[in-house]
Structure 1
Amino acid sequence: MSIPTTMRAVRITEHGSPEVLEHVEVPVPALRADEVLVSVRAVALNNTDLWTREGAYGRAGDPTALSGWRGPVDFPRIQGADVAGRVVAVGDGADPGLVGRRVVVDPAIYDGAGPEANPIGLMGSERDGGYAELVTAPAARAHDVTDSALTDDQLASLPTAYGTALGMIERGRLRQGETVLVSGASGGVGLALVQLARARGARVVAISSGSKIDAVREAGAHEVVDRAQDVVAQVRAAAPEGIDVGLDVVAGDLVSDGLPLLREGGRWVIAGALGGYAVDLDVRRLYLHNAQVIGSAMHTPRHFELLMDLAREAAVRPVVAAAFPLDQAARAQEELARRRHVGKIVLHP
């Protein structure tokens, strides 16, 4: 196909409310030798979009400082980490056989080339992302899913939410037959945790509320406790022998309340702070019971390969709550911030 010289995109030029999202015509990004150019069919929203736009990540020593995921954002920045689309061109050093292939892009920027490399940046934050008709990505990060039965919207829902969830599960060493507690279970990462933990053969106790409880149960949770009531008492009733692994995207008071729920040698994995970043922790609950608190930021290349294997087999099926055209990105982010939905919200460039 003929590659245009300009494209539609949504970008931010400063931190702020949804009004800072601007729908503009911009040059198509230049293609480097080791990169592919992807025609974006769907791009999913994440909390990282909100927090990057707001500058809500803080900095070491100053938690209230305006900052992106890993430091100051280089404006203007096209948002959007989660891209599904088709390769329309490749750089001189990339495999020309990728042209025309359906791909999911691993949005992580890693600190090395190995399978256990750590993410130190993210598409849509440290480099331009998929709120656009076209996006470039390293060829090594464009995973061929041409034969997957999943829709473009479902594929776009995988990278950050399911990648983060699988990273938590892998770092928490969740095994078949163990009991796992999932917080924030109706959100993108939470619902992914429920589905992936159930697929691994774990017994899943999830925390949700209100009308979302049934949807979380339908996603695979064995038990769902209502966060509007006494969570600890409900979890003790649902899992009287204790929890092997806590998979937590809420943090805040749940960490101090939840650690006593762990069995001997239990693991509490944290990948978010929706309930607050300040934690009052009784360390005796750790060393007296050989428990561990594990931080988990996204995934490694090995984790993402495992996720793409699941995508090719359609072994997990993301729930898509709503889709918006690209020029309604601000409305889509407002909908995401309201947290009334279950599943993922996507944009269609």
Structure 2
Amino acid sequence: MSKAPSPTTAPKGQMMAVVTTGNGGYDKLDYRPMPIPQPGPGEVLLQVLAAGMNNTEINTRLGWYSSSVTTDTSGQADAQETRAEDKDDGGWNGATPFPIIQGTDCCGRVVALGQGVDAALMGTRALVRACMRPNGYEVMDNIWMASDFDGAFAQFVKVPASEVFPVSCDWSDAELATIPCAYGTAENMLHRAGLGPDDTVLVTGASGGVGSATVQLARRRGARVIAITSPSKSDLIRDLGADQVLSRDADLVATLGEMSVSLVVDNVAGPGFPTMLKLLKRGGRYVSSGAIAGPMVSLDMRDMYLKDIRLIGTTAWDAPVFANLISYIEAGEIRPLLAKTFPLSEIVTAQKEFLQKSHVGNFVLIPPAP
């Protein structure tokens, strides 16, 4: 009977981190020293090399996931300087456990192992699977790094060893940090909806992190891809593999025709939702993991049941999703969309620019070297 690996010594002392102290504006982002976390049994400590930035960090800080909020996320730039009381349902699983270190996307290097962790992980460069299924994949229970426990907006982060995926490629740390949340969410939607080469898929919000990832991943699966974005970003989205790119202002029914697509991937929702169901063929699927144009939509039940449409909600990542992404990276089948990097200490500047929505792809924060 083999002996379980012994733990390795983790760095001691303090690290720099961005601590989100509650629901509210930029004043809730506090860049300050924090104790370096120590890995327990079954855990590893990673030095964070780069941390991607997403809508979800801003939405969680603002408490947008609360049922009391009915507005869109695209206008949140105007709300950043306001203070708000902490919401008991403002996170993905109820109340966010403030104070918390956010940062859902982590590219890091394993620098210490807890008891029982395979020694082969030591020193590897890896991505962290941010969506974790602690009760198994037979149920939808899930917890998220940076929403339910401390994340990657820091020099170090500890996570379960089972969620660490070494990756071998020539991408930079910042490029790898664009992958976990956006590409994991996109791949999960396509996996759950069963996208195949015979499908025609419509992707809304195609220039965002999840949208641009969806375009690439849908093209990789051989589907015909129709993307919706602003005219200024059309050429780049076409370069990612979209067969047809339409403006956000286009009359989609007039342009494409009713019952013209078999799958809609829609993280926009809001007022445009009814049109999505008009576009779906009989037996079509609608899949979503967000609602940046607003969570409240108008649903004509006749469009749904008379056409045998399936509505698919996705938050919990399915078992194959993250391993799939690692294989795509290592095989050179997808490419990163790194829009810009910022020092971790400049997170407020990064989030302000992020909310202008003038970029394509992902922003990444770089912690200082320890």
- Normalising to structure 2: TM-score of the pair? 0.89
The AA in structure 1 aligned to 2:198 is G
- Counterpart CA distance in 2 for 1:11 and 1:211 is 35
Q: 2:178: which partner in 1?
A: 157
8 Å Cα contact 2:253/2:278 also seen in 1: no
* 1:68 alignment partner, SS class: coil
Flag the 1:304–1:121 CA change in 2: closer, same or farther, 3 A.
same
Q: 1:194: which partner in 2?
A: 215
Q: 1:40: which partner in 2?
A: 48
Structure-to-structure mapping, 1:72-83, within 5 angstroms: 72-83=95-106
1:221 aligns with 2:242: yes
Q: CA deviation at 1:241?
A: 6.3
Q: 1:234: which partner in 2?
A: 255
Of 181, 184, 196, 2:205 maps to 184
Identity %: 41
- Counterpart CA distance in 1 for 2:22 and 2:104 is 18
Q: How many residues align?
A: 342
- Counterpart CA distance in 2 for 1:271 and 1:142 is 23
- Counterpart CA distance in 2 for 1:75 and 1:339 is 27
8 Å Cα contact 1:204/1:223 also seen in 2: yes
Q: CA deviation at 1:150?
A: 2.3
Q: 2:350: which partner in 1?
A: 332
Structure-to-structure mapping, 1:278-297, within 5 angstroms: 278-297=296-315
Of 5, 13, 30, 1:22 maps to 30
8 Å Cα contact 1:205/1:235 also seen in 2: no
Q: CA deviation at 1:217?
A: 0.9
- Counterpart CA distance in 1 for 2:140 and 2:107 is 22
Q: CA deviation at 1:74?
A: 1.2
* 1:294 alignment partner, SS class: strand
Of 89, 113, 138, 2:160 maps to 138
The AA in structure 1 aligned to 2:58 is L
8 Å Cα contact 2:338/2:362 also seen in 1: yes
Of 218, 227, 230, 1:206 maps to 227
- Counterpart CA distance in 2 for 1:149 and 1:254 is 40
Of 74, 77, 90, 2:113 maps to 90
Structure-to-structure mapping, 1:300-311, within 5 angstroms: 300-311=318-329
Q: CA deviation at 1:26?
A: 0.5
- Counterpart CA distance in 1 for 2:301 and 2:136 is 36
* 2:281 alignment partner, SS class: strand
The superposition leaves residues 266-301 of structure 1 with CA deviations (integer Å, 9 ceiling, x where unpaired) of: 001111111111111111112211111111115223
Q: 2:333: which partner in 1?
A: 315
The AA in structure 1 aligned to 2:219 is R
- Counterpart CA distance in 2 for 1:173 and 1:72 is 33
- Counterpart CA distance in 2 for 1:20 and 1:307 is 33
Alpha-carbon RMSD across the aligned residues, in angstroms, is: 1.7
The superposition leaves residues 174-211 of structure 1 with CA deviations (integer Å, 9 ceiling, x where unpaired) of: 11131000000000000000000000000000000131
The superposition leaves residues 305-324 of structure 1 with CA deviations (integer Å, 9 ceiling, x where unpaired) of: 11121122231112100000
1:3 aligns with 2:34: no
Of 150, 166, 182, 1:128 maps to 150
Q: CA deviation at 1:149?
A: 2.6
* 2:136 alignment partner, SS class: coil
- Counterpart CA distance in 2 for 1:254 and 1:241 is 16
311-320 or 41-50: which moved more?
311-320
Structure 2 gap segments, 5+ residues each: 1-8, 71-85
Q: CA deviation at 1:117?
A: 5.2
8 Å Cα contact 1:82/1:159 also seen in 2: yes
8 Å Cα contact 2:304/2:310 also seen in 1: yes
8 Å Cα contact 2:131/2:144 also seen in 1: yes
- Counterpart CA distance in 2 for 1:333 and 1:63 is 20
- Counterpart CA distance in 1 for 2:115 and 2:244 is 52
The superposition leaves residues 82-102 of structure 1 with CA deviations (integer Å, 9 ceiling, x where unpaired) of: 000110010011111111101
8 Å Cα contact 2:10/2:45 also seen in 1: no
- Counterpart CA distance in 2 for 1:298 and 1:178 is 24
The AA in structure 2 aligned to 1:204 is V
- Counterpart CA distance in 2 for 1:292 and 1:2 is 48
The AA in structure 2 aligned to 1:118 is M
The AA in structure 1 aligned to 2:281 is R
* 1:148 alignment partner, SS class: coil
